[in-house]
Amino acid sequence: MSEKKRIVELLEKETLNSVGVSERLGIKLDSVYVYLSVLESEKKIVKITDKRPHKYISITPEALMKRVYSIMLNKMRPKEKLSEFELKYTMNKVEELM
């Protein structure tokens, strides 16, 4: 499997910066910078932070769904409280989609 494909698959599961990718996959950091730049230009990954160190996710439906789910849980507050059924049903559906 190519290094680029391994990076995309890793970034489907987690949001990482270049150092994290390097440590997880055992690729030299200098090479990771090149791979991330190429993958970003190919529109296979995207930076999700403006400040350094940049964090990346892959652009796949699964990765984007996880990102939306994370934003909803961490940055948004419901206007009204969900019933236990609504909460359980919604969480189960989202987890199925991921």
3-state secondary structure 24-58: HHCCCHHHHHHHHHHHHHCCCEEECCCCCCCCEEE
**DSSP 8-state code for residue 73:** H
Residue 74 confidence (pLDDT) above 90:
no
Confidence of residue 80 (pLDDT cuts 50, 70, 90): confident
Percent of the chain with pLDDT over 90: 48
Q: Which domains does the chain have, with CATH numbers?
A: 1-59 (1.10.10.10), 60-98 (no CATH)
Confidence of residue 10 (pLDDT cuts 50, 70, 90): very high
Residue 65 confidence (pLDDT) above 90:
no
Mean of the per-residue pLDDT values for the chain? Answer: 87
